[in-house]
């Protein structure tokens, strides 16, 4: 039985007041699912000191390098020291706006795991790729890059987030059936590379305009193990209401 995870990706948003509001609301959260927030780097220390025990902290990106002359970069060890459990790697905004390819994303995934962080590997297709019926090819390549870099066993203790690019920040959500189909494919792909045990335990989150109104139906699908929430995570009531749907589902 996989425990559901609801993680908020604040992107370049938020401030100390939002950390305080989430921390206050999250104090009421029960143990039915895991709650995490991924605020921008400068808010990590504030969040680490204010979040109630049991609410996890994550970062939105990490360097693939351990240390050295990489101006502007933050290492996995630094994130661990700052109190992070999770780090998002390969978000579509990093892939498209900052040119991160599958090889670089795999390097970040490996760096996170080596430091003891749990990477949340984002995968997903663009609308053009979906229309060209290339969803499985694209998502398969994104998963295979990690397998090539570190072996499929690297998915043990990791998280995958299926985020169709056409559903991120657009208000357009994948239907529960569309999402379930790709989630099942992701699990099957990892199983094919590594045997079924790692795949069976692998949490696969959905991300893309998840909101209180559609969360329960998405989270009710057999292979959807939680959500990576962008816009709705900036509103503590909406975020906690999605969490409630996961905890009670
Ligand atoms: C995201 O960027 O990870 C995301 C899922 O965003 P949104 O919920 O706003 O679509």
For 209-224, write each residue's pLDDT tens digit.
999 999 999 999 999 9
Residue 238 Cα to ligand 1 midpoint, Å, equals 13
**pLDDT value at position 28?**
67
Distance from C-alpha of 95 to C-alpha of 139, rounded to nearest angstrom: 13
Cβ neighbour number for residue 196 with a 10 Å cutoff = 12
**pLDDT value at position 207?**
97
Q: Is the pLDDT of residue 195 over 90?
A: no
Residue 195 Cα to ligand 1 midpoint, Å, equals 31
**pLDDT value at position 31?**
72
Q: Is the pLDDT of residue 196 over 90?
A: no
Residues designated catalytic: 91, 163
CATH number at residue 114: 3.20.20.70
207, 215 Cβ separation under 8 angstroms: no
Atom 6 of ligand 1, nearest CA residue: 230
DSSP structure string for 18-39 = HHHHHHHHHTT--SSSEEEEE-
The domain in which residue 149 lies consists of 5-248
Atom 2 of ligand 1, nearest CA residue: 230
Report which of 243, 228, 245, 234 is spatially closest to residue 19, judged by C-alpha positions: 234
Give the number of domains in the chain. Answer: 1
**pLDDT value at position 78?**
98
Residue 101 Cα to ligand 1 midpoint, Å, equals 20
Q: What is the mean pLDDT of residues 219-230?
A: 98
Contacts of 174 (CB under 8 A, 6+ apart): 164, 167, 182, 206, 208
163 lines ligand 1 (CB under 6 A): yes
51, 23 Cβ separation under 8 angstroms: yes
Position in ligand 1 atom list of the atom nearest CA 163: 5
Q: Is the pLDDT of residue 194 over 80?
A: no
- Report the chain's mean pLDDT, rounded to a whole number: 95
247, 29 Cβ separation under 8 angstroms: yes
Structure tokens at 81: 């020291």
Q: Is the pLDDT of residue 54 over 90?
A: no
* pTM (global) more than 0.85: yes
Q: What is the mean pLDDT of residues 140-164?
A: 95
CA 238-239-244 angle, to 5 degrees, is 95
Atom 4 of ligand 1, nearest CA residue: 230
């Amino acid at each position: 039985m996989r425990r559901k995870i609801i993680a908020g990706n604040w992107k370049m948003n938020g401030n100390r007041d939002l950390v305080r509001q989430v921390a206050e609301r999250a104090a009421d959260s029960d143990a039915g699912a895991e709650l995490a927030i991924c605020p921008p780097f400068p808010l990590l220390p504030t969040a680490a000191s204010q979040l109630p025990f049991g609410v996890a902290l994550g970062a939105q990106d990490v360097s693939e390098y351990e240390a050295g002359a990489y101006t502007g970069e933050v290492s996995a060890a630094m994130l661990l020291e700052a109190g992070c459990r999770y780090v998002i790697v390969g978000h579509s905004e990093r892939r498209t706006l900052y040119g991160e390819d599958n090889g670089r994303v795999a390097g970040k995934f490996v760096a996170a795991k080596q430091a003891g962080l749990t990477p949340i590997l984002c995968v997903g297709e663009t609308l053009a790729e979906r229309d060209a019926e290339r969803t499985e090819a694209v998502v398969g390549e994104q998963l295979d890059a990690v397998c090539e870099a570190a072996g499929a066993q690297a998915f043990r203790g990791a998280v995958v987030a299926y985020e169709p690019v056409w559903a991120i920040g657009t208000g357009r959500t994948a239907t529960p059936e569309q999402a379930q189909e790709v989630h099942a494919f992701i699990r099957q792909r990892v199983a094919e590379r590594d045997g079924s045990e790692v795949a069976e335990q692998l949490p696969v989150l959905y991300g893309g305009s998840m909101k209180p109104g559609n969360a329960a139906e998405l989270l009710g699908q057999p292979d959807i193990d939680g959500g990576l929430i962008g816009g709705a995570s900036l509103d503590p009531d909406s975020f906690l209401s999605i969490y409630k749907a996961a905890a009670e589902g």
